[in-house]
Amino acid sequence: MSAPLAERMRPRTLDEYIGQTHLVGKGAVLRRMIDSGRVPSLIFWGPPGVGKTTLAYIIASTIEAPFYKLSAVNSGVKDVRDAIEKAKSNRFFDSAAPILFIDEIHRFSKSQQDSLLGAVETGTITLIGATTENPSFEVIRPLLSRCQVYVLKPMGKQDLETLLERALTEDHLLREREIKVKESDALFRFAGGDARKLLNILELTVASEGGDKVVITDKLVTERLQENPTAYDKGGELHYDIISAFIKSIRGSDPDAAIYWLARMVAGGEDPKFIARRLVISAAEDIGLANPNALLLANACFDALQKIGWPEGRIVLAETTVYLAVSPKSNSAYLAIDKAIANVERTGNLPVPLHLRNAPTSLMKELDYGKEYKYAHDYDNNFVKQEYLPKELKGTRFWEAQPNPAELKLVERMKKMWGEERENPEKNL
């Protein structure tokens, strides 16, 4: 029996690899690493079917490193340790470290991820993990800090067209048939940026037609797949489109639209934790100081969801969604931290003013660490004027209140305490 088309078309070299030119195109960062033969531990983050596993195989082949593969779905700590021991015994002097590829690494527990740390840190193995989930949430910090994270993007239309043309002209089985692609919109729409799905759809459509001649049309593809073109695909492009519509509906204060998009995700089998995480982000980014309770409720939603599970968890998600959608909106804190980070990147590590420094030793006290610091609680209303920024940034304002009742109250409080200097800053970045 012949292998599936997706496997037959799996690229073996970087020159055959389609897409991800920002990583492996000529002169791109990962391409340079591979060409040099020195590849660090990596985590590939992206939707299904964009070439994460294939790229790991190509890296191992190109740098001539032994390759071991584990799936987080059916592997435990023992499997990890066994793979590491095999890698150790297969390491030769001055050769590239064996590559341990872990598919769906986000499904590994903390203990499973902990078991990788020693081998990654000592260079016994080069870890390549693949995940469809944000590694910042799903990979433990010590492991994440030892890996370079690269984002793989869904295939664009041009990439899909290239893949389709290559399959029709290079696959030995498809070449035996006279195949004409009259229309490709349905092929690409159903594929949703997923190369594997495109090839599976193509193979299914061709196999369903008798005779040597096949004319592919949108109608034929839709009929053969026997599915609704609007069906939710939690692994494809629609996954990202719907969560985008969901968050933008909350930001736009439309509770009905927000609930509709939530229902689409619930009906489509989306991971409830993924939805809850986005609600927490939305509460901080889009509602912020206009209603600080929103972040508390979003966090409580996340906790409650893990306690009560599914399907009752949908009610908690719905309550939080409506609350966030009808809340007043502000992104002042979000803008403030981005301004501050941009300033830090521009000005570097400015010294901490002496009066704000910690003075745990007598020598530090002799050097005036902490001298002339005014302890706010020793003064009326627990406040006293003093400078808290480096002298180079004196008068700089990062936080700008927005015109909602909650923040206007904060502005009035700041004016009462600080006076006109808060109303007329020297520098407002």
What is residue 217's predicted lDDT score, i.e. its pLDDT?
92
From residue 376, give the alpha-carbon distance in Å to each of 379, 383, 390. Answer: 6, 5, 19
The fold for domain 157-225 equals Helicase, Ruva Protein; domain 3 (1.10.8)
Cα angle 383, 388, 392 (rounded to 5 degrees) comes to: 150
pLDDT at position 231 is 46
Q: For position 302, what pLDDT does the model report?
A: 92
Rounded Cα distance, 71 and 230, in Å: 31
Q: What pLDDT was estimated at residue 282?
A: 94
Where along the chain do the CATH 1.20.272.10 domains lie?
237-326
Give Cα separations from 238 to 19, 221, 229 (angstroms). Answer: 19, 18, 11
**Tell me, what's the pLDDT at 301?**
94
Query: For the chain, how are helix, strand and coil distributed in percent, rounded to 5?
Result: 55, 10, 35
Give 76-82's long-range contacts (Cβ < 8 A, gap of 24+).
Answer: 76/112, 77/111, 77/112, 77/115, 80/112, 80/115, 80/116, 81/115
Alpha helices of 287-419 — where are they, by DSSP H?
A: 293-308, 313-326, 332-347, 362-366, 405-418
Q: What single DSSP character describes residue 424?
A: S
Give the integer Cα–Cα distance in Å for 130 and 30: 15
Domain with CATH 3.40.50.300 in the chain: 20-151
What residues in the chain have per-residue pLDDT under 50? 227-232, 424-426, 428-429
SS3 (DSSP) at 119:
helix
Contact 29, 90 (CB under 8 A): no
Go through the chain and tell me how many residues it has: 429
pLDDT for 163 equals 94
Peptide bond into 40 cis (omega under 30): no
**DSSP structure string for 170-229:** H-TTGGGSEEEES--HHHHHHHTT-HHHHHHHHHHHHHTS-SSEEEE-HHHHHHHHTS-T
pLDDT at position 422, please? 59
Residue type at 377 in one-letter notation? H
Give pLDDT, residue 425. Answer: 47
Q: What number does CATH give the domain 237-326?
A: 1.20.272.10
Can you tell me the distance from the alpha carbon of 132 to that of 178, in angstroms, rounded to the nearest whole number?
Answer: 37
Give Cα 421 to chain centroid, integer Å: 41
**What pTM value is reported for the model?**
0.56
- The ranges of the chain annotated as CATH 1.10.8.60 are 157-225
SS (H, E, C) 121-179: HHCCCEEEEEECCCHHHHCCHHHHCCCEEEECCCCCHHHHHHHHHHHHHHCCCHHHCEE
**How far is 420 from 429, CA to CA, in rounded Å?**
18
CA distance 277 to 270: 12
Architecture of domain 20-151: 3-Layer(aba) Sandwich (3.40)
